[in-house]
Amino acid sequence: MKQLLKVDGLHLRFGGLQVLNDLSLTVREGQIVGLIGPNGAGKTSCFNCLTGIYQPQGGRVYFDGRDVSHLPTHRRARRGMARTWQNLGVIDSLTVTENVMLAQHQRAGYSALAGMLGLAGTWHRERELRRDAAEIIEYFGLDGVADERAGELPYGVRKTCDMAMALATDPRLLMLDEPASGLSPEEALGLSTTLRELRDRLRLTILMIEHHVPLVAEVCDYVYVLNFGELLTEGEPEAIQRHPEVIAAYLGGTAESPAEPEAADDDTVQFASEPPEWPLMAEGKSNGTA
Amino acid sequence: MGAFFALGIFQGAVYGLLAVGIVLVYKAKRVFNFAQGEFGGVAAFAAFYLVVNLGLPYWTGILGGLAAAVAMGLAVERVIVRPLESASRTIMLVALVGVALFTIAIIVLLGQPVPRVMPPLVEGSGVNILGAGILPQQLILLAVLAVLAAAMAWFFKTDLGLAVLASSQDTRAAQVVGISPVAISRLVWGMAALLGGIAGLLYAPVGIFTPGFMTLTMLVPAFAAAVLGGMTSLPGAFVGGIAIGVVQNLGIYLLGQQLKVPGAAELGVFALLMLVLLIRPQGLLGKEA
Amino acid sequence: MATATMTFGRIKVARRFGLALRVAVVLALLVLAALPLLLGGDVWAQRISRAAIYAIIGLSINTLTGHAGQISLGHQAFVGIGAFAAAFMASRLGAPLGFGLAAGALAGMATAAIVGMVALRVTGLYLALVTLAFGLTAETTIFNWREFTGGGAGAFAPRPALVSSDHAFALLCLGVLALVLYADWRLVSTKAGRALAAVRNDERIASTLGINVTGYKLAAFSLSGLAAGLAGGLFAHWNQVVQAMDFEFQVALVWVLMTVVGGLRSRLGVILASAFFALLPLTLPNFLAGLPWQPPFLNEAVYHVLPPFIVVVMLLIVLRFFPGGLGQLLRPATRWLTKGGDR
């Protein structure tokens, strides 16, 4: 199978903190690959490097055989890299339908200026986009809340909306940041059916960060284990589960650990997204004081 | 040219004094206080009323002016800042701009927009520094700036100051120390108003003053001074204020007098502000955070 | 409404009737709004022009702050540059009105685009400061540049024969306002509006959805500057003379407050608030002179500060009690008018 994503020797530092150290991984087309590791291992930072939100100090990212290391985030997205967010990538002030239509941005088929001038074709395209959005919304069972503002919906529904948005970008690679967090164990296992279906029906490739071990074991073709920014090991899920170092570092005690903090949503400077040793700060940030 | 340099240093002292108040509010609350200048405006007009209109002794004017400024600071904290605590920073800034315009409007309504002359703290002719006549009042201003900047820097090293800083990171952290966030908020705005009041009282006698004199001409240079100093550094506010004053006056000399460019003072300040923000956003003396 | 294909005949009738009622209400409101223009003579024609120009300025600020979430406290610079450019075209080059307005719009757009480039590096509160300092600098530097602005005497902007009457000019201003309104409506209804909402809320999410955050920010500034410059051009010909003192930086602050009072992202609210503040300085002296009791402290200078005073009082009320501005108060009515109570 063809390599869709290849990451070569990523180095990421925030001040004195080495967040990623010589991280390399490969995702082949049609695979579902897991990225696991304890909190603060650098998993979300890795996603941020892949999507271009962070500029790593070293290393390359190849997507579909081409070096995308220097492309801005939106250009990578246009090539087919989509992601979901641990803190959810939905825009609270828009409705679910508007959020999905927002995600269809790159395939709207008309320029922003044409839309603003109200040129003939744009009205038609808007209707088509709305119809497509309705289809996606229906697939995810969100039709009941399609016209509700996303910010007023419960967490689980917004999480589904986030996934629907990632799909609406028409991606080739779907990067999921803890898709099972906040779901009940049964829902988490149900997710494996959805993920397989997405891969098989839409020919998607999936890279996911996940803590929920049964889901990883159930659905992933291949697993990378991260610890302190370095690759601890990699392999088939069965082998990983028996790996002594993995058990020591990760499966040992923290399977039920809380979500790792996202980077501050500050509008000026972004600091380290995962400061493991400052629980007080992490609390403050989740409180929205940043 | 030397005279412009000297004028700039003393003009910069009032920017520095306003900047100290701006930095205090920013450090403690992460808010840009666009009403800082009008604390001084209120103090100056209250003092003028007491000293000139009522003929009371000068010290009552000073006390009355500072009391008026602090009262305004506490009122702003209660009526504007606290209710908008959870609003976005931009809305807060718009509201504080509103406070400044509101205060100017009140002063005009009560006192008419005529120029006034406030008697100086110390009478006497100016001293000659590099060919510029510097009033005793301006010497006092510079000295007070140095003392207050040092005092505020010291304040942030005390337990109380550290609690104020902690509350800017996390309101619960301050509660752990045992001080309520409301008390800290009152303290910060009261102190900022006091600093603004001192600036207004000391600067009003330097020339004639009109309603809005602190906001319309002083506020932007004072913010530029705070940014130049790194926005959180009190020595930075001192140095930044003087630097802005000097740049402004050199701008007047080089651009205005030599090249006849209109608005040279504002152009100088704007250019310096842009330069700092684009090249060294953390300011000259600022650290991250 | 597509989902509301009712099978019960009676409800269908009620719906159709509702639509007719709504159309009738809108028409009645429009006629009511047109009455001053039809019956009010030149004075009201002038006032309506001014209200329309202010509404364009309010919508311009709304584009930047409401849609894109960027702040500008120096908007009077964009409007002023547009005004001086239009006056320059009209009086120095003798260009037709259309060219003057286009030049004003382009000048405003170019200026705003430059400020927008700064906004890519400098965000939030610092951007507010930079735009404020920029407005102040523009006021004292560019607007006092004698060759361009005519210095203290101001620059003249005579109206061409076609719109020389106040009524014709009012129609021109209303026409431009209608165009701006249409563009704003289409903007928020299409992909650019959604993209700006994403940029406003979370730039990182926006970029991972394939949205060029940099491009949209610059576009928002340019568009806002375009409308502001256009309003400036109209203002120049409305007043027929432009002076630097028309564009003091307090004016920009009042405009921003005015837009927030109207309600960000509410077209109707912004227009009403803008019109109110456009007319306030013109009607306030007469209104106060007509009062049976004359407050003792009133004089010319006080008229100058009363509008800012009133806008600030309104702002404080709005921010505390209904943060959505006038638009929030009007929402039930506008929702009924546009959707017939579907939601």
Where do the structural domains in chain B lie, given as residue ranges? 2-122+136-279
Q: Are residues A142 and A207 in the same domain?
A: no
Q: Are residues A148 and A179 in the same domain?
A: no
Report the C-alpha gap between C208 and C222 in whole angstroms: 24
Average pLDDT, integer, range A8-12: 93
State the total domains in chain A: 2
pLDDT of residue C4: 38
Query: Could you tell me if C277 and C311 are in contact, meaning their C-beta atoms sit under 8 angstroms apart?
Result: yes
Residue B10 reports pLDDT greater than 60: yes
Q: Which residues in chain B (163-182) have CB-CB distances under 8 A to chain A?
A: 169-173
Contact B204, B47 (CB under 8 A): yes
As a whole number, mean pLDDT of residues A45-53 equals 94
Of C129, C250, C315, the CB nearest to B223: C129
Report percent pLDDT > 90 for chain A.
Answer: 61
Question: Per residue, what are the HEC states of chain C?
Answer: CHHHCCCCHHHHHHHHHHHHHHHHHHHHHHHHHHHHHHHCHHHHHHHHHHHHHHHHHHHHHHHHHHHCCCCCCCHHHHHHHHHHHHHHHHHHCCCCHHHHHHHHHHHHHHHHHHHHHHHHHCCHHHHHHHHHHHHHHHHHCHHHCHHHHCHHHCEECCCCHHHCCHHHHHHHHHHHHHHHHHHHHHHHHCHHHHHHHHHHHCHHHHHHCCCCHHHHHHHHHHHHHHHHHHHHHHHHHHHCEECHHHHCHHHHHHHHHHHHHHCCCCHHHHHHHHHHHHHHHHHHHHHHHCCCCCCCCCCHHHHHHHHHHHHHHHHHHHHHHCCCHHHHHHHHHHHHHHHCCCC
With contacts defined as CB-CB under 8 Å, which chain A residues touch C227? none
Chain A residues whose CB is inside 8 A of the C179 CB are none
Tokens of A63: 């997507």
Q: How many residues does chain C have?
A: 343
Question: What gap in Å lies between CA C104 and CA C90, rounded to an integer?
Answer: 11
- Shared domain for A64 and A124, answered yes or no, is no
Hey, is the C-beta of B99 within 8 angstroms of any chain C C-beta? yes
In C, which residues are within 8 Å of A73 by CB distance? Answer: 204, 207-208
Residue A175 has which token pair? 């990067």
Beta-carbon separation of A280 and B288 below 8 A: no
Cα–Cα–Cα angle for A174, A175, A178, nearest 5°? 130
Alpha-carbon distance of B135 to B127, in angstroms, equals: 6
For B32, which of C125, C302, C319 is closest by C-beta distance? Answer: C125
Give me the residues of B, 222-281, that contact A with CB < 8 A. none
pTM, full prediction = 0.87
Chain A residue numbers with beta carbons less than 8 Å from the beta carbon of C214 are: 72
In this structure, are residues A32 and A208 in contact, taking their beta carbons and an 8 Å threshold?
Answer: yes
Residue B132 has pLDDT above 90, yes or no: no
Beta-sheet pairing, A32-36 with A205-209: parallel
Domain finish residue from A134, A168, A202: A168
pLDDT band at C297 (very low <50, low <70, confident <90, very high): low
Q: Could you state, in order of their start, the residue ranges of all structural domains in chain C?
A: 16-339
Same domain, A138 and A267: no
Does B53 reach chain A within 8 Å, measured CB to CB? no
pLDDT of the residue at A27: 96
Interface check C182 vs A, CB under 8 A: yes
Confidence of residue C301 (pLDDT cuts 50, 70, 90): low
Quick one: pLDDT at residue C2? 38
What is the CATH number that goes with domain B2-122+136-279? Answer: 1.10.3470
Of B90, B223, B274, the CB nearest to C118: B274
Domain at A61, CATH number = 3.40.50.300
Inter-chain touch B101–C254, beta carbons under 8 Å: yes
Q: Which of C122, C125, C190, C202 to mutate to test the interface with A (most CBs of A within 10 A)?
A: C190
Judge whether B63 is closer than 8 Å to chain C, CB to CB.
no
**Chain B with chain C: Cβ pairs closer than 8 A:** 134
CATH number 3.30.160 given to C16-339: no
Supply the range of the domain harboring residue A201. Answer: 3-80+171-286
Please report residues of C whose CB lies closer than 8 A to that of A110: 190-191
Q: What CA–CA distance (Å, rounded) separates B243 from B272?
A: 10
Nearest CA in chain C to A123: C190
Chain A neighbors (3+ CB pairs < 8 Å): B, C
Last residue of a domain, one of A121, A138, A168: A168
Integer Cα distance of B114 and B112 in angstroms: 6
From the candidates B273, B278, B279, B282, which should be mutated to test the interface with C, based on the most C CB atoms within 10 A? B273
- Contact of B110 with chain C, judged by CB distance below 8 Å, is answered with yes
Tokens standing for residue A32: 């579902």
Largest CA distance in chain A: 64
Set of chain A residues whose Cβ sits within 8 Å of the Cβ of B172: 284
8-state DSSP, A151: G
Once rounded to an integer, what is the mean pLDDT over residues C25-51? 84
Interchain pair A117, C207: CB under 8 A: no
With contact defined as beta carbons under 8 Å apart, do B115 and B209 qualify? yes
Spatial distance between the Cα atoms of A161 and A101, rounded to a whole number of angstroms: 11
Say yes or no for a CB contact (<8 Å) between C130 and B105: no
On chain B, the residues whose CB falls within 8 A of the CB of A281 are 169-170
**Residues A103 and A144 reside in one and the same domain:** yes
Quote the minimal CA–CA distance from C327 to chain A in Å.
16
Closest CA to C242 of C160, C155, C151: C155
Contacts of A269 in chain B (CB under 8 A): 288
Helix axes C249-262, C267-289, angle to 10 degrees: 120
Give yes or no: residues A63 and A140 share one domain. no
Q: Which residues of C touch B96 (CB under 8 A)?
A: none
The answer to whether residue A87 sits within a structural domain is: no
| Closest Cα in chain C, distance from residue A212 (Å) | 25
Q: Which residues of chain A lie closer than 8 angstroms to C197, CB-CB? A: 91, 93-94, 98, 102
Cα nearest neighbour of A78 on chain C:
C210
Query: Torsions phi, psi of B113, nearest 5?
Result: -85, 55
Indicate the residue among A150, A168, A186 that finishes a domain: A168
Neighbours of C151 (CB within 10 A): 15
Average pLDDT over residues A61-70: 94
Q: What's the Cα-to-Cα distance from A228 to each of A35, A48, A107, A274, C2, rounded to whole Å?
A: 13, 16, 39, 11, 54
> What is the model's pLDDT at position A38?
84
Chain A hits for C187, Cβ within 8 Å? 115-116
Q: Hey, are the CB atoms on C129 and B32 less than 8 Å from each other?
A: yes
Do the Cβ atoms of B170 and A283 come within 8 Å? yes
Q: B80, B84, B94: which to substitute to probe chain C, counting the most C Cβ within 10 Å? A: B94
pLDDT at A280 over 70: no
B86 and chain C in contact, CB less than 8 A: no
Instruction: Find out whether B118 and B204 touch, Cβ atoms under 8 Å.
Output: yes
Q: Kindly report, residue by residue over C118-154, the tens digit of the pLDDT.
A: 888 888 889 999 999 999 888 888 888 877 777 667 7
Contacts with A72 from chain C: Cβ below 8 Å: 207, 212, 214
The C-alpha of B171 sits at a distance from chain A's nearest C-alpha, in angstroms, of 9
> Contact at 8 Å (CB) between C146 and C153?
no
How far, rounded to the nearest angstrom, does the alpha carbon of residue A48 sit from its chain's CA centroid? Answer: 9
Sign of the dihedral defined by the CA atoms of residues B232, B236, B242, B244, in that order:
negative
pLDDT of residue C321: 82
Distance in angstroms between the alpha carbons of the first and the last residue of chain C: 10
Report which of C142, C170, C156, C155 is spatially closest to residue C42, judged by C-alpha positions.
C170
Return mean pLDDT, chain C. 86
CA distance C201 to chain B (A): 12
Q: Which of A54, A105, A122, A124 to substitute to test the interface with C, most C CBs within 10 Å?
A: A105
Kindly report the nearest CA distance between residue A97 and chain B, in angstroms. 26
Q: pLDDT tens digits, residue range A200-228?
A: 998 999 999 988 888 888 899 999 999 88
Q: Which two tokens stand for residue C10?
A: 């009676």
For residue A89, is it within any domain? no
Please tell me if residue C213 touches chain A, with a CB cutoff of 8 Å: yes
A72 and A108 in a single domain? The answer is no
Residue C227 has pLDDT above 90, yes or no: yes
- Using a CB-CB cut-off of 8 Å, the residues of chain B touching C312 are 98-99, 101-102, 105
Instruction: Give the rounded percent of residues in chain A with a pLDDT score beyond 70.
Output: 86
What confidence score (pLDDT) does residue C249 get? 81
Low-confidence winner among A199-203, A278-282, B230-234, C84-88 (lowest mean pLDDT): A278-282
Distance from CA of B136 to the nearest CA of C (A): 31
- Decide: C266 and C325 in contact? Cβ < 8 Å: yes
Considering the domain architecture, whether residues A196 and A269 belong to the same structural domain is answered as yes
d(CA C325, CA C330): 9
Interface contact B171-A281, CB threshold 8 A: no
Task: State how far the Cα of C323 lies from the Cα of C316, in Å rounded to an integer.
Answer: 10
Q: Say which amino acid occupies A230.
A: E
- Report yes or no on A85 lying in a domain: no
- What is the residue whose two structure tokens read 């695979």? A31
Per-residue pLDDT reduced to its tens digit, B62-115: 999 999 999 999 999 998 888 888 777 778 888 898 899 889 888 888 887 788
Query: Both A12 and A118 in a single domain?
Result: no
Question: Which whole number is the average pLDDT over B222-245?
Answer: 92
Across A132-144, average pLDDT: 94
User: Is residue B59 very low, low, confident or very high in pLDDT (cuts 50, 70, 90)?
Assistant: very high
How confident is the model over A143-165, as a mean pLDDT? 93
Which residue in C has a C-alpha nearest to residue B230's C-alpha? C126
In this prediction, residue C342 carries a pLDDT of 42
DSSP states of B241-264 as a string? HHHHHHHHHHHIIIIIIIT--TTH
C123, C205, C208 ranked by CB distance to A91: nearest: C205
Residue C79 has pLDDT above 80, yes or no: yes
Higher pLDDT, C287 or A71: A71
- CA A101 – CA A107 distance, rounded (Å): 10
Question: What residues of B are in contact with residue A284 (Cβ under 8 Å)?
Answer: 169-170, 172-173
Q: Do the chains contact at B83 and C126, CB–CB below 8 Å?
A: no
| Chain A nearest C-alpha distance from B144 (Å) | 34
Burial of C79 (0-12, 13-18, 19+ CB in 10 A): buried
What three-state secondary structure class fits B142? helix
A10 and A125 in a common domain: no
